[in-house]
Amino acid sequence: MSLYFSAIAVLVGAILYGLSLTTLYWLEDELNRRTLVQTSPMAINAFRAGAESPLQLNTNIKAYNDLNAIPQQDQFIKQLPLGFIDELHDTFTDDLFVLRSEYQQEGETKPLIIIMNAAQVELSNQEWRNINITILAVTFLLFILFGFAISKLIRRLVSPVRQLSDQLKLVQAPSEFKVSSGAALEFSELAASLNQYQRQIDKLIKQEQAFSRYASHELRTPLTVIQGAGRLLQQQGNEAFKIRQRDRIVNAANDMQHTIDALLSLVRHEDEHYSEQQRVLTQAELSKVIRYVQPLADSKAVVIDVDIQAEPLITPSEAVLRMLLINLLSNAINASEGGEIELKVNQEAIWVVDHGRGLTRNERDQQGHGLGLLIVDALCQRYQWKFSLQDTEPGCIAMLHFPHA
């Protein structure tokens, strides 16, 4: 790019140089031609008044109305056509400006020749050299200024691209893409867009990892129950024992089905949240969720208090809502050492309030919400809900806010 713009600068300089000289040459000759034209009326009046040829009009201009009076060295002027006015260049004489015309005197046509010595009215060779040097100096100065402007332009255009390219080539991607402070606004916006995309990619990668680990954990647990209950059924036992094992298998299979339904809702590509029908969130549905986490709560001596102020209309299926609430309640129970957890529901949101240790540093800095809460984030985005965590003293409030409430 530097060579390209340098070539343009040289071409522009050469054009300016040639144009300047051409204009000066034309201007000099045009002024001399106009001088001859303006002098001709004065010569005609003088000849009509009886002046003899040659007539000295000033120190370097002579007028003739008799072709025989023209000096021998200038006899070639007789061959010039009528109306000629221009500069003549001859090797053996000085350059001359000549006007060839005619006028009327007492009914007779008289020739009119006006000759001006070009050497006395044109710029000298030394003056032309000075003009050339001046033009070259100005052109060179413009070239330097143009080069400086190009270097600044290249720095603003190419340098940020190189910086971003180098950062993209790094084996370990930078935490944030940056460009120099002097870069154009568009490159700062490009770096901001790259940072935004990188954050989205990191979030998606974390969600994918969380999905894999969570799915592995949630599906292995009922499978382990089913396998264990199946082996127990192979052993001898009374009918009540076998019924309990069959119930464990059925419950584990139901749990697995709920988990699969909820996780599959995350990986559906079609945008279904507008077409899905809303349904009423009932107290019976919440009771099923409470029963599922009750053993964990009992092991931590935690009491779950349910406050249903209204039964809102929601879009997520029972399996999805079950996974959301189980994650929030399980995190609240694990963060508590005894005490009480409140589950509140109204027309606007669902709250899970605990009085445990509060948010961790990563959770407070929004760098991550833990394995289960990443799934909660993804499910809320799927159904256009808003999920938030708020640290309290002591404890934490997790809220699921419904859209268009």
Task: Give the gyration radius of the chain's Cα atoms.
Answer: 50
DSSP letter for each residue of 23-43: HHHHHHHHHHHHHHHHHHHHH
Express each pLDDT in 242-282 by its tens digit.
Answer: 787 788 788 778 777 777 777 776 666 444 444 568 889 99
Contact 390, 351 (CB under 8 A): no
Domain ranges of the chain: 2-126, 185-267, 279-401
For 38-92, what is each residue's pLDDT tens digit? 888 998 899 888 888 888 888 888 898 888 888 888 888 888 888 898 888 764 5
pLDDT band at 191 (very low <50, low <70, confident <90, very high): confident
C-alpha 37/C-alpha 403 separation (Å) is: 92
Pairing of strands 396-401, 349-354: antiparallel
Per-residue pLDDT tens digits for 66-78: 888 888 888 888 8
Assigned CATH class of 185-267: mainly alpha
Residue of 79, 112, 85, 83 whose CA lies nearest to 97: 85
Residue 302 in contact with residue 340, Cβ under 8 Å? yes
CATH superfamily of the domain spanning 279-401: Histidine kinase-like ATPase, C-terminal domain (3.30.565.10)
Question: Of 364, 377, 296, whose CA–CA distance to 336 is shortest?
Answer: 296
Token pair 């268009």 is found at 404
- In angstroms, rounded to a whole number, what is the distance separating the alpha carbons of residues 149 and 151? 5
Maximum CA extent, the chain: 159
Q: In this predicted model, what pLDDT tens digit does every residue of 270-314 receive, in sequence order?
A: 444 445 688 899 999 999 889 888 988 999 899 999 999 988 999
